[in-house]
């Protein structure tokens, strides 16, 4: 009835206990039923970026149990994309990187090392407070990378900023 529905809307006792997410793209706080914030979106975007750059997921999940998966998601740090790039991978991002001078997989790893690794790993930090505060901040860092500017995820020193400056000019 309408009265029952209105009572349900005004009561704090109703709600779903179901958590809907893709475990392979879920943030650690989602795995344990924590609050869903923009940090979960940033984490999921980091996983997608990792897949695009490295050709696979940040964590190896084949043959592990649900409890091992949860333990890994909550405590293990992912490898940097530059360390797990897959041989023979082909996609738009890899083509873009190759066009910027990454002719071999070794040079592709070198291209990923540094700014791109740090951007992705910032997205994949365990604590939402340590990730990008908003998707716009992530987008801005990617734009800085593409423009040859220092990225915030890198927190580079003067030498890093100088190299970026000379690379642009």
Read off the pLDDT of each residue in 69-79 and give the average, rounded to a whole number: 90
Contact present, 23 and 100 (Cβ < 8 Å): no
Whole-model pTM?
0.77
Residue 10 has pLDDT above 60, yes or no: no
Closest C-alpha to 116, from 167, 164, 53: 53
**pLDDT class for 52, splitting at 50, 70, 90?**
confident
pLDDT in tens, 31-40: 888 899 999 9
pLDDT in tens, 75-101: 999 989 888 876 545 555 566 556 656
Contact present, 97 and 111 (Cβ < 8 Å): yes
- Residue 169: its pLDDT value, please? 86
Q: At what angle do helices 38-54 and 135-147 cross, to 10 degrees?
A: 30
């Amino acid at each position: 009835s309408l009265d029952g529905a209105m009572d349900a809307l005004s009561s704090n006792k109703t709600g779903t206990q179901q958590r809907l997410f893709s475990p392979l793209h879920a943030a650690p706080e989602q795995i344990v039923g924590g609050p869903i914030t923009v940090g979960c979106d940033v984490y999921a975007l980091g996983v997608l970026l990792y897949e695009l750059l490295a050709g696979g997921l940040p964590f190896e999940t084949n043959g592990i149990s649900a409890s091992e998966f949860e333990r890994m998601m909550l405590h293990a740090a992912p490898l940097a994309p530059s360390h797990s790039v897959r041989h023979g991978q082909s996609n738009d991002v890899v083509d873009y990187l190759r066009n910027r001078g990454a002719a071999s997989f070794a040079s592709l790893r070198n291209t990923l090392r540094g700014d791109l690794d740090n951007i992705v790993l910032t997205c994949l930090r365990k604590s939402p407070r340590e990730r990008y505060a908003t998707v716009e901040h992530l987008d801005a860092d990617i734009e800085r990378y593409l423009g040859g500017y220092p990225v915030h995820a890198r927190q580079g020193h003067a030498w890093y900023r100088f190299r970026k400056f000379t690379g642009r000019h």
